[in-house]
Structure 1
Amino acid sequence: LFRMEDIKQSLRESQKTLEESLRRRDDQIALLKKKCEEKKQADIKEKQCQASLKKAIIDANSKHIEDETEEFFQKHIEELEEKLNRAESLRRHRQEQNHRRVA
């Protein structure tokens, strides 16, 4: 009888130890899953951040190119307007000289 109680007690202790071990294992698994999920979320955020940065750089480059193009054409338009004004002035000057010769 005493021996049977010892065996039962030993079995209870073994079961308790096993349950604690399983609980610790489950806790470790849950912690690892949580860490993996957090890493996955961090990686997603990092990729989103990199994509946003890349888009911002592309947008800035596009804006810079647009500005340079606009500046180039504006300068070209101004040069053409200056040439046109000089040509118009020269035409008027020649026209005045022709009127003086005729008169």
Structure 2
Amino acid sequence: MAGPSQKARIYVPPRSAMQSGKGRTHGWVLEFAPGEKQRLDPLMGWSGSGDTLGQVRLHFPTREEAVAYAESKGLTYEVEEPKPVRIKAKVYADNFRFGRAENWTH
């Protein structure tokens, strides 16, 4: 699949802007770094390259499994630790709080 000089990135994908909770945010992704620069197609104007590994994303349930896979294939890899997610609880009563800074939306 990939040569030993191929560089990989292992990370936890961020949740989408449409998600408010932690659902489906577990798991690690191994993604290959671009092997060559993208070039512009003169006829259609689309950008592309001959590097097919740029399209490959491997999903693993744990960080250890992703690292073990990269090491078994002889890949150089970089692990990006996830940032802690803090979800602030919203209270309906805060809409009517005295001295609130936000505009009234009702």
Q: TM-score, structure 2 length as denominator? A: 0.17
Comparing both chains, which one has the higher relative contact order based on Cα–Cα distances under 8 Å and sequence gaps of 6 or more? 2
Name the structure with the higher helix share. Answer: 1
Q: TM-score, structure 1 length as denominator? A: 0.18
